[in-house]
Chains A and B, each alone.
Chain A
């Protein structure tokens, strides 16, 4: 049995075509949507920094916007580093 499994596993790891198809379906569906509208992320980041800066002094260089595109849903993660208690407040 175990040696049979060996061959079966080998076959599965060879099957990268299925991975290719899944990856293409996700990225192409996202690109088709974004084709019709501008990339909003830079503006989103800029506006977010402005809003947060009204309350806390932050370094605009320490803002990370990460987008993970998925098939069913995507995740937008925004990381803003706030100065520590010792940091120079404006």
Chain B
């Protein structure tokens, strides 16, 4: 039976799709057969971040409505073996998804894959509820910023009351915090909520902290999941997070400001990756 992971946040623009792409790619790189599903029906973007936008033929709505087979809609990643993408529809709306339809897709994917990563749309409407309903685990993507933290707390409440596990009174959805866009310099100046503050408020286990990094935009420009950029701090932080997700111990990195470079370092060191 596959593990279903929802990547969610409530708030938009905090890095759900970037994180879904990175984590799904990381799991596949470690030999786990992984499929990542875009639940943002009407605002498809996972295909762009994964760099497969030109290969989309059918989407999740076609499969739910019986217009295409699941195997026809799945796009196999050409870089990482064992990684597939199920795109969202760009033309339909979120009501095209039904609980029964999504359940059938997840059951069929469970036969073939070890992990099913569900990239949630923003909000707490139908699309978001569909993406989290079948989850065994949830990765809550949060920025160190008041509205993101509040929305994360709200989505934690939704996971605890509206998921299948909650409705059937089973063991609750396992929750993980992924703090993204963390700027150690601003934290040090007291301008940004620090990791400890966010952990104290949300009170869920920490999966990882992804530093604010120029490499995230570069990766999305190119359509490469940022975890493949092994030089960048963000890529390394995602890689650590995936290892932790699989039960390995990894120290948290990039939480403090790097030591000031000397004059030569400043001249030749370039910008932070």
Binding site for B on A (CB under 8 A): 11, 14-18, 20-21, 23-25, 27-28, 31-32, 35
Q: Is B153 a contact of A15 with CB atoms below 8 Å? A: no
Identify the interface centre among A25, A32, A35: most chain B CB within 10 Å of its CB.
Answer: A35
Closest chain B residue, CB of each to CB of A23: B146
Q: Is A17 a contact of B194 with CB atoms below 8 Å? A: yes
Binding site for A on B (CB under 8 A): 145-146, 149-150, 153-154, 157, 161, 187, 189-194, 197, 200-201
Q: Is A32 a contact of B190 with CB atoms below 8 Å? A: no
Q: Is A31 a contact of B191 with CB atoms below 8 Å? A: no
**Chain B interface mostly helix, strand, loop or mixed?**
helix
Give A11 to B188 CA distance when docked, in angstroms: 11
Closest chain B residue, CB of each to CB of A16: B191
Beyond A15-B190, A31-B153, 14 additional contacts (C-beta under 8 Å) are A11-B189, A14-B190, A14-B191, A15-B189, A18-B190, A20-B145, A21-B193, A24-B149, A24-B150, A24-B193, A28-B149, A28-B153, A32-B153, A32-B157
Closest Cβ of chain B: how far from A30's Cβ, in Å? 11
Closest Cβ of chain A: how far from B188's Cβ, in Å? 10
> Residue B201 contacts which of A16, A24, A35 (CB distance < 8 angstroms)?
A24
Interfacial chain A residues near B154, Cβ < 8 Å: 31
Give A14 to B60 CA distance when docked, in angstroms: 47
> Residue A17 contacts which of B150, B157, B191, B201 (CB distance < 8 angstroms)?
B191
Closest chain A residue, CB of each to CB of B196: A21
Closest Cβ of chain B: how far from A22's Cβ, in Å? 10
Interfacial chain B residues near A25, Cβ < 8 Å: 201
Give A14 to B189 CA distance when docked, in angstroms: 7
Q: Is B187 a contact of A28 with CB atoms below 8 Å? A: no
